[in-house]
Amino acid sequence: MTDERLLDIEHLHVELPARRRGGEPRVVIHDVSLSVAPGESVGVVGESGSGKSMTTKAVSRLLPRGAATTGEIIFRGSSVLGLSGRELAQFRARRISTIYQDPRAHINPLRTIGDFLAEGVVASGAMTRTAALEAACALLRDVGVPDAERRLTQYPHQLSGGLLQRMMIVMALLPSPDLVLADEPTTALDVTVQSDVMAVLAEQIRDRSLGLLFITHDLDLAAAVTDSLAVMYAGVIVERGPSREVSTNPRHPYTAALLASRPSLSSVTRLTAIPGRPISAFEAGPGCVFAARCAYATDRCRAERPAPQLIEGRSVACHRAEELGSVLPKVAMA
């Protein structure tokens, strides 16, 4: 990892158009700021509806029609939001790649694996079909897929979920991108296969010095495979810092609540549920987005949204972050 920034997101705010005429636009992201360096893996963790996937869609400019975006998304010094149509096509084809959570939903069942892997790089003019298939074979071997030539002639229904997700990793790496966006890439897999796939992905990211933006609802998984973590709730990054520190010494009440709600591998204890229900960004009031579910919330928390503050090398959006440092529970590493 170097000090050079690959991706910089500064105060990203996204609104979607109203669902019905005369309605109000819906805020899906209030304030997201994070960065990814070459060779760095950054995890974005949060409950469903927190805006994690919308963040990756904003980076690749694949938001729904009519979406309004403010803030900055800078990729290698250039504004992504200012790219022309031709520049945007090249950006998506060669500079970034996306790994989706359900490979069967993104692979045409009527075409072979070889067709699927070669299609993108051939269409963009990056490779000939022959060169693409040769490169795909080499990558398949790199990610631990035996008999690569035969796999290219098979159809999606002939492969297991774990193998198909490895194909998605190969597809993402084939154009030699600078940044990989992994949107919950292991959700559809069982735990043992999940571990293998993430080990393969982490190895490839490290060996190729790529940036990885890893979206997940699994805080344990993100802490194990990323360098830094951003914890997101209702369209706001509430805590951001080194993965080990965030996952063992939380400074935001939401991070601490997420960690406390996990089952323990070492003892049988009653799970501590977070009270209330998760809210979407458009439901959040003027104060802290987590105030309604927070045991430490004050009147100020409910009335005034906290700005992120730097505490022990971490960004924490909490009015009481300093005083809660000795109150929030620490978590022992497994």
* The residue type at 258: L
Strands 7-16 and 68-75: antiparallel
Q: Cα separations (Å) of 321 from 58, 291, 297, 307, 312?
A: 29, 13, 11, 11, 11
Q: Which residues pair with 242 in a beta bridge?
A: 228
Instruction: Report yes or no: 268 and 256 within 8 Å, Cβ to Cβ.
Output: no
pLDDT (tens place) for every residue of the chain, 334 residues total: 445 789 999 999 999 998 887 778 999 999 999 999 999 999 999 988 899 999 999 999 999 999 999 999 999 999 999 999 999 999 999 999 999 888 888 889 999 999 999 999 999 898 999 999 999 999 999 888 889 999 999 999 999 888 898 899 999 999 999 999 999 887 767 777 777 888 888 888 888 899 999 999 888 889 988 999 999 999 999 999 999 999 999 999 999 999 888 776 666 777 788 999 999 999 999 999 999 999 999 999 999 999 999 998 899 999 999 998 878 876 654 4
21-43: pLDDT as tens digits: 777 899 999 999 999 999 999 99
**What's the pLDDT at 265?**
66
Angstrom distance (rounded) from CA 47 to CA 70: 23
Query: Over the chain, what is the mean pLDDT?
Result: 90
Contacts of 120 (CB under 8 A, 6+ apart): 93, 171, 174, 175
**What's the pLDDT at 2?**
47
251-266: pLDDT as tens digits: 999 999 998 887 766 6
CA–centroid distance for 19 within its chain: 26
Residue 111 in 3-state DSSP? coil
Instruction: List the beta strands (DSSP E) in the chain.
Output: 7-16, 26-36, 41-45, 68-75, 78-79, 96-99, 179-183, 211-216, 228-233, 236-242, 309-311, 314-316
Q: What is the pTM of this model?
A: 0.91
